Amino acid sequence: MSVEDLLEQDASTQAAAVASGAVSARELVAGAIARIETLNPHLNAIIHPRFEQALAEAAGPLSGPFAGVPFLVKDLMLSNAGEPYHCGSLYFQRLGLRADEDSTLAARYKAAGLIVLGRTNTPEFGSITTTEPAAYGPTRNPWHTAHSPGGSSGGSAAAVASRMVAAAHGNDGGGSIRIPAAHCGLVGMKPGRGRISHGPSRGELWLGAASEHVLTRSVRDSAALLDLTAGHVPGDPYYSAPASRPYLACAGEDPPRLRIGVMYETPGGRLPLDPDCAAALATAVALLSDMGHVLTPDYPRALDAEDDARHFMRVVAASIAHDIDEVAARVGRPPAADELEPHTAIIYRKGQALSATDYLRAQVWWQRYARDIQHWWTTGFDVLLTPTTTAPPPRIGAFTGSEADPMAPLRGTVPYIAYTMPFNLTGQPAISLPLHVGREGLPIGVQLVAALGREDLLYGLAGQLERAAPWAQRRPAA
């Protein structure tokens, strides 16, 4: 198999080729770099390339299950010592901010043998669901470059969908892995709270809403990489018990007959459901029914609560204000008036103005809301099935903010987080799968949600769906 052919395969296949000597790690990395140099000018997925370092690493001693496999990391949350850390922010970009240390997850990727080729684009501080930061410009969806790949892991999603790499890091505080996965035809697992450590500098982000993992083209890659990166570190505030079996093994075996609730409505009926997203749900229902699972129209009624977004944004605003102020104190200057995007400037001011009791009020509401939602999984249901989003990928610029309408990006985010954000608040694992293609040829995802600690169940069901309705042969023209 040629290097070009190998780049079309998943990371597990690439790792096996390197391990067998069919291709060298340096040849594979060089091939991925060449592909990036061809595609990235059109897609703008990678903003901080590190090609020379990657080639040198690929030529050196390698170890780990994914030794020599090209990889990308998102320029948010995960840190690599000495590498740029801009978080989509013009302020951080102008400061030339660089990370002081490897995060725990970055160290685990290195131990797995992955070769990081660069850092990917993200919206400013990951607060919206399109990737169009003023600092670096828009990332485009490889399936249709007039559209967004979603956010906030949009750069990583565009890179994986276009076959620059087979897998890339992302993170998810309100849907930021699952939404780009849905928009780009990928597998996007948000692990449960506490499954992957945020150490050593952070214990949690966004009051435990944010999780990190990867975007991949195959279920087995997602499962294998979670096997390698999961695990509690002393001092972490949340603990998720280790899986009883490897996730990779679960992905390869059909699960038992499951009871699955199907959410046909949008939460509270407050938003319309696009026909493409309804069709994706119908596709999943038909497949799961054919497999013998029991599907019932049902869902946690607490999802209809109206106050979740307001409390969620209080926590996000406080967290973003903290992160900006922490850097400002370190460098000795706050952001200038033109160094924050209009919506971020409003979020920043709101975060600074929040009182401790405001924050605690959000936390108390959030925890009660999470308890009410999780109760549904004790009533005999194994999995919840929903669309991933209420609408297909938006066009680039559809929600651009301005002085006249600074909150347009946040308003535009609402239809895309309606199904995803609640499970950041509950901390439950949830996965988006690419089971449908819409009328304009754009991918449409469906979401599966399990109880806390049941990533194994989601991987088993995802693997079964992948075998029944393979999506690997579908690829964008870009």
Query: Which residues contact residue 420 at a Cβ distance below 8 angstroms, ignoring those fewer than 6 apart?
Result: 172, 174, 175, 178, 179, 190, 388, 389, 430, 447
Q: What are the helix and strand counts (H, E) for the chain? A: 17, 11
CA distance 416 to 339: 26
Q: Which domain holds residue 285?
A: 3-468
Question: Do the domain assignments include residue 478?
Answer: no
Is 89 one of the catalytic residues?
no
- Tell me which amino acid residue 115 is: I
Q: Is residue 152 annotated as a catalytic residue, yes or no?
A: yes
* pTM of the predicted model as reported, rounded to 2 decimal places: 0.98
The domain total for the chain is: 1
Catalytic residue among 12, 89, 103, 176: 176
Of 103, 152, 153, 218, which one is the catalytic site residue? Answer: 152
Instruction: Report strand pairing: 294-297 vs 383-387.
Output: unpaired
Q: Does residue 350 have an active-site annotation?
A: no
Question: DSSP letters of 133-175?
Answer: -TTT----BTTBTTB---SSSHHHHHHHHTTS-SEEEEEESSS
Confirm whether 476 is domain-assigned. no
Whether residue 474 lies inside any domain: the answer is no
Residue 304 and residue 103: Cα distance in Å, rounded?
37
Active-site residue identified among 74, 190, 197, 319: 74
Nearest to 154 by CA among 133, 131, 175, 134: 131
Give the three-state DSSP class for 307.
coil
Q: Are 392 and 276 in contact (CB under 8 A)?
A: yes
Residue 475 lies in a domain: no
In a domain, 356, yes or no: yes
Residue 473 lies in a domain: no
Query: Does any domain span residue 442?
Result: yes
What pLDDT tens digit does each residue of the chain (478 aa) get? Answer: 899 999 999 999 999 999 999 999 999 999 999 999 999 999 999 999 999 999 999 999 999 999 999 999 999 999 999 999 999 999 999 999 999 999 999 999 999 999 999 999 999 999 999 999 999 999 999 999 999 999 999 999 999 999 999 999 999 999 999 999 999 999 999 999 999 999 999 999 999 999 999 999 999 999 999 999 999 999 999 999 999 999 999 999 999 999 999 999 999 999 999 999 999 999 999 999 999 999 999 999 999 998 778 899 999 999 999 999 999 999 999 999 999 999 999 999 999 999 999 999 999 999 999 999 999 999 999 999 999 999 999 999 999 998 899 999 999 999 999 999 999 999 999 999 999 999 999 999 999 999 999 999 999 999 999 999 999 999 997 6
* Longest CA span, the chain: 62
CATH code: domain of residue 378 = 3.90.1300.10
Confirm whether 21 is domain-assigned. Answer: yes
